[in-house]
Amino acid sequence: MARGRFISFEGIDGAGKSTQHAWLVDRLRAQGRQVVATREPGGTPLGEKLRSLLLAEPMHLETEALLMFAARREHLVQVIEPALARGDWVVCDRFVDASFAYQGGGRGLEWAKLERLAEWVLGSMRPDLTLIFDAPVAVAQQRLHAASNSPDRFEQEQAEFFERVRAAYLRIARENPLRVRVIDATRSMDSINKELENIVATI
């Protein structure tokens, strides 16, 4: 049985990542693939409990990073690795790059500490493909406000926080050109759908 493919979706809040995640999952299933659609933080019963805490409870930034990686370890062992071993595709709304972008870029936690956690929790395991949905902070915030859900602990952050998160994502893209593709998320949903389909056809 050939190992499945692992695709992660990233971007600042409001860029349109979850919309495109749902679209790609449907598209792959329509093509007859077995797809595990999942998300971080979350993806397991324990991970979803940690997600509720992470999105609501104030905490020290290192606690936040450790809980993100604790949820990720559970997700990897219980869901992602077994799915890939079965030959399923795993399409994940956020993964390890979000910790570098948010806890590293946004909150200012040392990159080296995050690298040690990533090494411990994942070893050299990374997605086959990471799509970063990139848009100016003002565009993403406008979309978030138009969607008018009650904002969580991250969505309540100021524009400067998201500027740092965005810059960290773009740094990750520059440092990992083989794995990471940056998608211009300011375009119409249709044109992004087409680009996604073309990129995914190459992996």
Which residues bind to ligand TYD, rule: CB under 6 A? 13, 18, 39-41, 68, 93-94, 98-99, 102-103, 152, 154
Asked if 85 is part of the footprint of ligand ADP (rule: CB under 6 A), the reply reads no
Nearest approach, Cβ of residue 101 and ligand ADP (Å): 13
- Taking residues 7 to 46 in sequence order and writing x for each that binds ligand ADP by CB under 6 A, - otherwise, the string is ----x-xxxxxxx---------------------------
Cβ–Cβ < 8 Å for 163, 137: yes
Asked if 51 is part of the footprint of ligand ADP (rule: CB under 6 A), the reply reads no
Rounded Cα–Cα distance for residues 5 and 85 (Å)? 10
Size of the site for ligand ADP (CB under 6 A): 14
Kind and range of the H or E run holding 23: helix 17-30
Cβ–Cβ < 8 Å for 85, 3: yes
189 binds, among ligand ADP, ligand TYD, none (CB under 5 to 8 A by kind): ligand ADP
Cβ–Cβ < 8 Å for 80, 127: no
SS3 category, 147 = helix
102 binds, among ligand TYD, ligand ADP, none (CB under 5 to 8 A by kind): ligand TYD
Which of 193, 66, 31, 196 has the alpha carbon at shortest distance from 130? Answer: 196
Q: Which is nearer to ligand ADP, 146 or 201 (CB)?
A: 146
The CA R_g of the chain, rounded to the nearest whole Å, is: 16
The site for ligand ADP (CB under 6 A) is made up of 11, 13-19, 143, 146-147, 188-189, 192
